[in-house]
Chains A and B, each alone.
Chain A
Amino acid sequence: MERYKKILEETETVELEGYGKGLPIWRPYGMQIMKNIVNRFIDHLYDKIKFEFVEHPMLIPKEEYLDLFENIEFENLYTLDFNGRKYILKPDSLQFNFDYIFKHGIDAVLSIGTGYRYETGITPPLFRDRHIWPFVQFNHVIEAEEVEQTLLTHTNILSSLFEDLCLPHFFVDSGKKRNYGLHQINGMSFLDTDELTIISMSYVLSESFSHHFNTRKKLIDTGFTEKLLAMCALLNIDEKGLILPSLIAPYNVVCFDRNERPVSKDIIESTSQDNLRVYSDNSSRNIKRKFDIWEKKGVNILILTDGNSIEKVVRRYDKKAEPFTSVRRLSEILKENDEFLRTRNRRFMEKLNSENQEYYLQAFCKDCSLETTVFGEIFPHKTAICECGKIGLEYLVTYDKKIY
Chain B
Amino acid sequence: MKLNYQNQASLIRTREQQIADFIGYHGFTRISDIFIIPKNVHNTRSYIKKHIVRTDHLRYPINVKIEERDYGLQDYYIRSFGEDFNLILFRWYEAWEKPIKIYSLGPGIYKNKEVSNLMLAQVFDAPNQLSDLQVKLLNCPSPFEELKSSLSKEFEVDCLRVWGV
User: In the complex, which residues 29-80 of chain B have their Cβ closer than 8 Å to any Cβ of chain A?
Assistant: 29-32, 34-38, 41-42, 58, 64-70, 76, 78
Query: Which of B7, B32, B41 is A31 in contact with, Cβ under 8 Å?
Result: B32
9 A-B Cβ contacts within 8 A? Answer: A23-B34, A27-B29, A28-B31, A53-B9, A54-B9, A55-B9, A58-B107, A80-B64, A80-B65
Give bound CA distance, A55 to B64, whole Å.
24
- Interface hub of A24, A58, A64, A75 (most chain B Cβ within 10 A): A58
User: Does the CB pair B38–A99 fall under 8 Å?
Assistant: no
User: In the complex, which residues 1-26 of chain A have their Cβ closer than 8 Å to any Cβ of chain B?
Assistant: 15, 18-21, 23-26
- Interface hub of B10, B29, B32, B69 (most chain A Cβ within 10 A): B32
Q: Which residues of B contact A26 (CB under 8 A)?
A: 31-32
Assuming A28-B30, A100-B7, is B42 touching A20 (CB within 8 A)? Answer: yes
Assuming A28-B29, A28-B30, is B8 touching A55 (CB within 8 A)? Answer: yes
Q: How far is the CB of A58 from chain B (nearest CB, A)?
A: 5
Interface residues of B (CB under 8 A from A): 1-10, 12-13, 29-32, 34-38, 41-42, 58, 64-70, 76, 78, 92, 106-107, 109, 112, 114, 116
User: Does the CB pair B12–A60 fall under 8 Å?
Assistant: no
* Chain B residue, CB-CB nearest to A30: B32
User: Does the CB pair B68–A118 fall under 8 Å?
Assistant: yes
User: Does the CB pair A20–B30 fall under 8 Å?
Assistant: no
User: Does the CB pair B116–A64 fall under 8 Å?
Assistant: no
0 or 1 for each of A196-221: is its CB under 8 Å from B? (1 = yes): 00000000000000000000000000
User: Does the CB pair B67–A80 fall under 8 Å?
Assistant: yes
Q: How far is the CB of B47 from chain A (nearest CB, A)?
A: 21
Q: Which residues of B contact A80 (CB under 8 A)?
A: 64-67, 76, 78
User: Does the CB pair A89–B34 fall under 8 Å?
Assistant: no
Q: How far is the CB of A389 from chain B (nearest CB, A)?
A: 51
Asked if A366 is at the interface of the complex by the 8 Å CB criterion, the answer is no
CB < 8 Å A-B pair total:
105
User: Does the CB pair B92–A15 fall under 8 Å?
Assistant: yes
User: Does the CB pair A100–B114 fall under 8 Å?
Assistant: no
* Chain B residue, CB-CB nearest to A17: B42
Q: Which residues of A contact B30 (CB under 8 A)?
A: 28, 31
User: What is the interface of chain B mostly: helix, strand, loop, or mixed?
Assistant: mixed
Query: Which of B4, B29, B34, B65 is A131 in contact with, Cβ under 8 Å?
Result: B34
User: Does the CB pair A56–B32 fall under 8 Å?
Assistant: no
Assuming A58-B114, A80-B64, A118-B68, is B1 touching A67 (CB within 8 A)? Answer: yes
User: Does the CB pair A78–B36 fall under 8 Å?
Assistant: yes
Query: Which of B12, B38, B64 is A20 in contact with, Cβ under 8 Å?
Result: B38
Q: Which residues of B contact A99 (CB under 8 A)?
A: 1, 3
User: Does the CB pair B7–A20 fall under 8 Å?
Assistant: no
Q: Which residues of B contact A100 (CB under 8 A)?
A: 5, 7
Asked if A61 is at the interface of the complex by the 8 Å CB criterion, the answer is yes
Query: Which of A20, A24, A96 is B41 in contact with, Cβ under 8 Å?
Result: A20
Give bound CA distance, A21 to B34, whole Å.
13
Give bound CA distance, A23 to B35, whole Å.
10
* Chain A residue, CB-CB nearest to B104: A25
User: Does the CB pair B3–A61 fall under 8 Å?
Assistant: yes
User: Does the CB pair A19–B58 fall under 8 Å?
Assistant: yes
* Chain B residue, CB-CB nearest to A21: B41
Give bound CA distance, A82 to B113, whole Å.
10
Give bound CA distance, A336 to B13, whole Å.
35
Asked if A383 is at the interface of the complex by the 8 Å CB criterion, the answer is no
Give bound CA distance, A67 to B1, whole Å.
9
Give bound CA distance, A336 to B104, whole Å.
37
0 or 1 for each of A289-304: is its CB under 8 Å from B? (1 = yes): 0000000000000000
* Chain A residue, CB-CB nearest to B112: A83
Give bound CA distance, A253 to B68, whole Å.
46
